[in-house]
Amino acid sequence: MAKQVKRGLNALLANIEDVKTDVKTEDKIYSVALEKVMPNPDQPRKSFNEESLIELSRSIREHGIIQPLVVRRGEDDKYIIIAGERRYRASLLAGLTVIPVIIKEYDEMKTKEISLIENLQREDLNAIEEGEAIRELMDCYHLTQEDIAQKLSKARSSIANTLRLLSLTNEVKELVKSGKVSAGHARALLAVPDPLVQIEMAGKVITEGWSVRETEKQVRYYLKPETKPAQISEKVRQKMSVEMKEFVNGMTQVFATKVRLVGNESKGRICIDYYSNEDLQHIYDMISALKK
């Protein structure tokens, strides 16, 4: 029984988009024919997860639309979606003919602003879509980064960093849009001026599973090759391994306890085990004697 209640609750919650869109409790809710509702052509979010939409459509089919869409009046007795395109798409899949809406008297600028805020608050936009939407707002209405930062309640530096991602090559931007390359990886790749190298590194992020830190390191090596550690040949590596084993064996005999090396040929640490106060005193005496 508990599992059934949980599934029902999850289905209801999947239908709710907790977004601040200036909707007030006294706003009147209208029932509008679905065919009269149109997606916003300037919607910043371009991609919708098909599986997620199917799940939402099942919830809507069973429970109806819990939270009305927010729309504005368009031409020819149509309504343009301000907030709720995901619910709209799921309603189409569910076969609804009438949906609940709240009608707002917003101009185009306010509509774009609310659409962007809705998606940002729900973290539905990828970093490139977010940057493109911000750029469009700035270009269309002559807004500064500071203006956008205030409207979105974000730091101006955050807005600037998002906009910088738009200077990536188109191929890398598509990888970010598809979720194959994260925004963190993309920010690291911004420092690579050669488009072909940028694309190559983005490919390695995917195929070799580079972390953001590893990506930053590889970019640093590319920009300053002299900082990259020299490659050790297999012959030298094997010789060093033999020498390190002999070193460990020698220390084990000197300290009469277990000694371990943790790390690799270039860096690491030496671990000397002791099992009693007498062992520790013996190690201390040996080191003191070596210091003399």
Work out whether the CA dihedral 176, 181, 185, 190 comes out positive or negative: negative
Contact yes or no for 174/198 (Cβ under 8 A): no
- Round to whole Å and give the CA distance between 74 and 249: 83
- Round to whole Å and give the CA distance between 114 and 128: 18
User: Which 3 state secondary structure label does DSSP give 259?
Assistant: strand
Among 17, 85, 113, 129, the one annotated catalytic: 85
- Other C-beta atoms closer than 10 Å to the C-beta of 54 total 12
- Other C-beta atoms closer than 10 Å to the C-beta of 108 total 13
Burial of 129 (0-12, 13-18, 19+ CB in 10 A): buried
- Other C-beta atoms closer than 10 Å to the C-beta of 208 total 10
- Round to whole Å and give the CA distance between 64 and 61: 6
The full DSSP string for 59-81 is: HHHHH--SS-EEEEE-STT-EEE
Structure tokens at 102: 């709240």
- Round to whole Å and give the CA distance between 148 and 120: 13
Which residue(s) pair with 259 in the sheet?
Answer: 272
85 catalytic? Reply is yes
Contact yes or no for 155/179 (Cβ under 8 A): no
Active site members: 85
